[in-house]
Structure 1
């Protein structure tokens, strides 16, 4: 696929949506065609599933059923949004992807990792992000940010923000473990600083790992 696929991961309040908007704007100013999307969601059926899950309606069904719903949403999202965009040479920035299922369902401790991997293989069908940016910060800070944002928007607390601090600490550990396991794909960003500083760190990584997307020539590209 001609388009590049960049995913943003991290705990609650890490600033993913802010940084996706900033990167999208920066790349568009360079003449790139960019699609910003999210999970769960990003396509009509997937958005319906998102609303069902985040309202807490799936929680009584158990962690595995919840993972199945995430997988169904991801399949629809890939088929109707992500894959067509990449084939059309559009670069895709996605707020959460398969790593979030690994982390959130893994943090619950109620779904076997082997089952999560099986669901991931079925949903992705070989699709893999070119780069995954994990925005990392202490969960106490992230939850405080998320709470302040929620009050500003007069929103109800969602299914996962309502989990206890132990869950969110485990969530952070799981994301960092994913980064250690796949360092060629994942980069950890210190998100416990200003939005401008985080943006700069993200651009440095994008420029380094996806130089053609960032408008830079790859090293030795003109060497015969």
Structure 2
């Protein structure tokens, strides 16, 4: 490739010198040298292409003789599929599929509601030891119970109300927004958090 570039440069420079008439002494050898070098460069590119083609042909021939045809459907190398918390979902799903104890534990917490299986997966994969599986299930189910109690408690709270001179409004996402009084625009995740902040 280098020969082709240099040869092209010399060829064009030689033509330029010949065109001026003054530099014919320099132009003729430069023109001829550039032409020869360009031809040599083209020849080397052709040789490289032939060698590459022959090597590829040899690889295909070896694969055919061994009975292994190249497959466009070959599986990719293993790469963990992770959720936002960095949890290896592929590993967890494989454990659930292959291990009856882990499958039963996943089913147990799944019944408590969406998201609890991922909590179990996070706890189990952190220690990767089955002796802690029952404890992890207990912890997740306890959290599910507390969340349900909080949900039921918050359902009894009016969607609008007053606390210490400030008016709040419960929004569709379940959070509380101060709409009048002190701290207008401030939001709270739970009613208790809001009550403590506004009464304190």
TM over 0.5: no
Bigger share in helix: 2
TM-score with structure 2 length normalisation?
0.21
Larger radius of gyration: 2
> Which has the higher relative contact order, 1 or 2, with Cα contacts under 8 A spaced 6 or more apart?
1
